Amino acid sequence: MRDPIATATLRIMDQNDSTESAGTTLSHEDIVKVARLSRLKLDEEALEAARTDLSAILGHVARIREVDVEDVAPMPRPLDTVNRLAEDEPGPTLDRSVVLDLAPVTEGDFIAVPKVLGEGGA
């Protein structure tokens, strides 16, 4: 059953929609690449579902292309705050054993990971 409240929400956005959203359809190749860059291992079914969802979301997102942004400087933070540097003084830190206890696999005082050398570099 489609939820009537959710559908009503959708109509609000569409009523002022003068231009059809520019088509943004991801290819199978695109989604395979995005999954790899995201460090996710998806099967074919999950890849196809992701391709459909992302295409629909990007189709909606594409309306930002309708806005005239010529000569507008990008705003990475909402307020024009100035970066603040801390004094370079040592402060309290967590005990090593506390941090090591969080790691899934440890060997002695080290966090253990699979062998990284000899893979030919990913």
Partner 1 sequence: MTDPCNIDRRDDLTHRIDAMRRGETTATDRLEASLTAIDRRNDELNAYHETLEDTARAVASEIDGRIARGEEARPLAGAILAVKDNICTTEGRTTCSSRMLENYRSPFDATVIRRLRDAGAILVGKTNLDEFAMGSGSEHCAWGPVRNPWATDRVPGGSSGGSAAAVAADLCDAALGSDTGGSIRQPAALCGVVGLKPTYGRISRYGLVAFGSSLDQIGPICRSVRDASLLYSVMAGVDPHDATTAELEVESWNESMRPAPDQLRIGIPREQRNAEHHPGVSEMFERAIDRLEAAGTSIVELDLPLTDQGISTYYVIAPAEASSNLGRYDGIRYGHRAKPMPGEGLEELYARTRTEGFGPEVRRRIMLGTYVLSAGYYDAYYKRALQVRRLIREEYDRAFEQCDLLLGPTTPGPAFRIGAERDPVSEYLNDVYTVNANIAGIPALSIPAGSTEVDGVGLPIGVHLQAPPFAESRLFGAGSTIESILAD
* 78-96 burial: b if 16+ Cβ within 10 Å, else e: eeeeeeeeeeeeeeeeeee
CA–CA gap between residue 9 and residue 6 (Å, rounded): 5
Q: Total residues at the site for partner 1 (CB under 8 A)?
A: 66
Q: Which amino acid is at 103?
A: A
State the binding string over 96-115 for partner 1 (x if CB under 8 A, else -). Answer: --xx--xxxx-----x-xxx
Rule CB under 8 A: say whether 48 interacts with partner 1.
no
Query: Of the candidates 19, 29, 77, 109, which one interacts with partner 1 according to CB under 8 A?
Result: 77
List binders of partner 1 among 78-97 (CB under 8 A).
78-79, 81, 83-84, 86, 94
Give the H or E element holding residue 56: helix 44-61
Cβ 34 to partner 1 shortest distance, Å? 5
8 Å CB contact between 26 and 55? yes
Rule CB under 8 A: say whether 32 interacts with partner 1.
no
Helix axes 44-61, 28-37, angle to 10 degrees: 100
> Which residues have CB under 8 Å from 32's CB, separation 6+?
47
Rule CB under 8 A: say whether 28 interacts with partner 1.
no
Can you give the binding site for partner 1, defined by CB under 8 A? 1-3, 5-13, 15-16, 26, 30-31, 33-35, 37-42, 50, 53-54, 56-58, 60-65, 67, 69, 72-79, 81, 83-84, 86, 94, 98-99, 102-105, 111, 113-116, 119, 122
